[in-house]
Amino acid sequence: MFQYRAGQIKTFFRQWQLQSMVIPGIIWMIIFCYIPMFWLIISFMDYSIAKPLLESPFVGLKHFQDFMTDDRFWRSIRNTLGMSIIKLVLGFPIPILFALLLNEIRNFRFKRTVQSISYLPHFIAWTIFGGIMLNWLGEGGVINQLMMALGLQEREILFISDAKYFWWITYFSDTLKEAGWSAIIYIAAISGIDPALYEAAELDGANRWQRMWHITIQCIRPTIAILFILAVSGMLGSNFEQIFMLENNMNIKMAESLDLYIYNMGLVSGRHSFSTAVLFARSIVALGLLFLANYASKKLTGDSIF
Amino acid sequence: MEKRRRFRRIGIFEICNTLLMLAVCFITLYPMWFVFVNSLNAPEHAMLGTVNWLPKEISLASYSVVFNDKSLMHGFYITTLRTVIGTVVHVLFTAIVAYGMSKSNLIGRKLYLKIALITMLFSGGLIPSFILMTKLGLYDNFWVFIIPAMYTFFNMIIFMSFFRTIPDSLEESAKVDGASDYGVLFRIVLPNSMAVIATIALFSAVYHWNDYYQGVIYIHSQDQLPLQTMLYKIIAENSMSFMQQQAMAQFGARLPGSSIKFASMMVATIPILLVYPFIQRYLVKGVMIGAIKG
């Protein structure tokens, strides 16, 4: 046993060149991923950034109790879950649907062109895309003009300053920006399906819909399952860049997600310890969600991440 | 008769589907077209209301305001610098680590993977990272854009799985000729990996070009602000008094703030739109490599 270990150490030094490639990566991870994890302990302290860590008093679960009784915390939970559930139920199937329909296009060039165009918005910054949304949804914007021309509303509505529209604005703008991009992975999975399966099904008399349902969907099911598990485990997160761009004082009641709450409490109000306690609790719940979704998917469909 | 009807039904589906796909193209392209038209629109017309299809009279007035604005152009410079340095550093560093990790006889490989996997499940998050950056002296420092973004585990996996597809015989022959591991990496492996390098470089460049949030959190002084953070302040916080004053001086009250906003949005997007057609053929491939292993 000892000799085997010694052999390993010898090999380790013999491959010093390879090790010198990998170890900086590990050191980077320790600094930028593990040290922040260590700093989570300030959620149990009254930490002030001006003083050394050890001089901060230990306060146990005080901050955790504080946020549990904060109305604004519960409001941010409601907003995060509201936006996530809309995105999950109405947003998750859209890239799958788009990939399926795009797959039915016979003309190869047209197919490629549509695909390239569909993921273009993914590459546009949220500052630009959010700016367009702010313009469209504001006074004299495209949405108001369109709705009035169609007779759906009589006078202009300031969608962006009215909190009740906020969740839907995040859903629509996110879908518009990211649906084409999210479809790539399904399109890639569909292109990997053996054409013989379709030929066999056609001989058996399966129509277009039956082929789509029994072959395409069945073959990309593992991909769908994995992305669904990731979506569920990400439910307590929100697209910070999007929400930060679109929120304002008027819609904050429906716009403040958990991420934004952590940002506002921690960096705007300077309550570092309190904010870190929220963050810590969220990470643990998110980890739990990941395992739960993975377990449920394994039981229901047989597909899972681990 | 039966056959003909079936043929016709498929035809209707095809037509509807094609129309639907055209509609998808329209709604994805229209936002960009909208910004383009409004940035070009002559000031008099922009004041009268939103012009949605074509500019009534083409004018470059708002562009001249943007290009003459010193702080915006400085932001453009910071963003360009950040994108170039950030992308080169990210691709090089990630590729080097990935090459080492692609060797299955590497001692400690399993441990390294475990260390990395934990970071995918759990992370410190915003406030601890903020404290760390402050302690490292990266607050209000240009390198805050580069160093924390120089490595991602996910891109390392993409590189690693690509390197594993390169035939061993190629590397062995170089070793026989006396090349070191670094020699093999830089002379044999990297030149044969242009497809994956292009993909990762694109992802990294897009991230650096588009990110505004790091600038909001970590940058305090005006002369370090990237363009996108400035745009965020102009668009979301509506703080464009300086530019408006300048525009007023130049064009009287004729040039509305919105035209300047749209022109700056165009300036911030054009580089991406120029690079996009050249590099997008690598995209699907890159995402597929990521999807298979990730």
Q: Which CATH number does the domain housing residue B98 bear?
A: 1.10.3720.10
Interface residue A63 vs chain B (CB under 8 A): no
A68 within some domain: yes
pLDDT above 90 coverage of chain A, percent: 66
Q: Are residues B71 and B165 in the same domain?
A: yes
Range picked from B62-66, B126-130, B247-251 for highest mean pLDDT: B126-130
Contact at CB, A126 and B210, closer than 8 angstroms: yes
> Which of B265, B255, B235 lies closest to B65, judged by CA?
B255
Tokens of A190: 């569909």
Interface residue A12 vs chain B (CB under 8 A): yes
B45 within some domain: no
A20 within some domain: no
Is A267's pLDDT higher than 50? yes
A243 within some domain: yes
Domain of residue A242, CATH code: 1.10.3720.10
Is B223's pLDDT higher than 80? yes
Contact at CB, B228 and A127, closer than 8 angstroms: yes
CB-CB contact of B31 with A175 (8 Å) = no
B250 or B277, higher pLDDT:
B277
The confidence score (pLDDT) of residue B131 equals: 94
Place of tokens 């302990």: A41
B48 within some domain: no
The confidence score (pLDDT) of residue B40 equals: 85
Range picked from A96-105, B4-13, B175-184, B244-253 for highest mean pLDDT: A96-105
A74 within some domain: yes
Report residue A289's pLDDT band, with 50, 70 and 90 as the boundaries: very high
Which chain A residue shows the shortest CA-CA distance from B231? A127
The confidence score (pLDDT) of residue A125 equals: 94
- Residue A260 DSSP SS3: helix
Residues A28-50 have pLDDT tens digits of 999 999 999 999 999 999 998 88
Average of pLDDT values for B104-121?
A: 92
Tokens of A66: 């504080």
B256 within some domain: yes
A23 within some domain: no
Q: Which helix (H) or strand (E) holds B82?
A: helix B70-101
Residues in chain B: 294
The confidence score (pLDDT) of residue B90 equals: 98
Mean pLDDT in chain B?
84
Which chain B residue shows the shortest CA-CA distance from A31? B132
Q: Are residues B285 and B205 in the same domain?
A: yes
The pTM of this model reads 0.89
Is B229's pLDDT higher than 70? yes
Residues A192-249 have pLDDT tens digits of 899 999 999 989 988 888 999 999 999 999 999 999 998 999 999 989 999 999 999 9
A14 within some domain: no
Average of pLDDT values for A269-280?
A: 95
Q: Are residues B28 and B73 in the same domain?
A: no
Interface residue A210 vs chain B (CB under 8 A): no
B55 within some domain: no
B33 within some domain: yes
A155 within some domain: yes
Q: Are residues B75 and B165 in the same domain?
A: yes
Chain B residues within 8 A of A208 when measuring between CB atoms: 10, 13
Tokens of B74: 């400085």
Residues in chain A: 306
Is B4's pLDDT higher than 70? no
**Using CB atoms within 10 A of its CB, is residue B31 exposed (0-12), middle (13-18) or buried (19+)?**
buried
ipTM value of the model? 0.89
Q: Are residues B26 and B163 in the same domain?
A: no
The confidence score (pLDDT) of residue A7 equals: 82
Tokens of B221: 């002084």
| Dist CA A238 CA A153 (whole Å) | 31
Is B16's pLDDT higher than 60? yes
Tell me which residue in A11, A36, A180 faces B124 most closely, judged by beta carbons.
A36
> Which of A161, A272, A164, A245 lies closest to B229, judged by CA?
A245
HSE-up of A269 (CA within 13 Å, CB side)?
Answer: 12
Is B235's pLDDT higher than 90? no
Chain B, window 68-127: residues with a beta carbon less than 8 angstroms from a chain A beta carbon: 93-94, 96-97, 99-101, 103, 105-108, 112, 115-116, 119, 121-127
B270 within some domain: yes
pLDDT above 70 coverage of chain A, percent: 99
Domain tally, chain B = 2
- Residue B41 DSSP SS3: strand
Domain limits for position B11: 2-40
Q: From its phi and psi, is residue B49 left (phi > 0), alpha (psi between -120 and 50) or beta?
A: left
Residues A291-305 have pLDDT tens digits of 999 999 999 888 887
The confidence score (pLDDT) of residue A1 equals: 45
Range picked from A74-83, A129-138, B173-182, B267-276 for highest mean pLDDT: A74-83
Q: Are residues B72 and B36 in the same domain?
A: no
Least confident range from A143-157, B204-218, B234-248: namely B234-248
A4 within some domain: no
Q: Give the number of other Cβ atoms within 10 Å of residue A115's Cβ.
A: 23
Domain limits for position A129: 54-301
Q: Give the number of other Cβ atoms within 10 Å of residue B255's Cβ.
A: 26
Q: Are residues B160 and B247 in the same domain?
A: yes
| Dist CA A225 CA A304 (whole Å) | 7
Q: Are residues B36 and B66 in the same domain?
A: no
Contact at CB, B153 and A267, closer than 8 angstroms: no
Q: Which helix (H) or strand (E) holds A185?
A: helix A166-191
Residues A171-191 have pLDDT tens digits of 999 999 999 999 988 998 898
Is B284's pLDDT higher than 70? no
| Dist CA B107 CA A20 (whole Å) | 12
The confidence score (pLDDT) of residue A124 equals: 93
Quick one: chain A helix, strand, coil %, rounded to 5?
Answer: 75, 0, 20
B34 or B86, higher pLDDT:
B86
Q: Which residues of A180-218 are buried (b: 16+ CB within 10 A; e: fewer)?
A: bbbbbbbbbbbeeeeeeeeeeeeeeebeeeebbeebbee
Residues B173-219 have pLDDT tens digits of 888 888 899 999 999 999 989 888 988 998 899 999 999 999 999 99
**List of residues 6+ apart from A254 with CB closer than 8 A:** A79, A82, A163, A164, A166, A167
Chain B residues within 8 A of A37 when measuring between CB atoms: 122-124, 128
Which chain B residue shows the shortest CA-CA distance from A241? B213
Report residue B1's pLDDT band, with 50, 70 and 90 as the boundaries: very low
Q: Give the number of other Cβ atoms within 10 Å of residue A241's Cβ.
A: 21
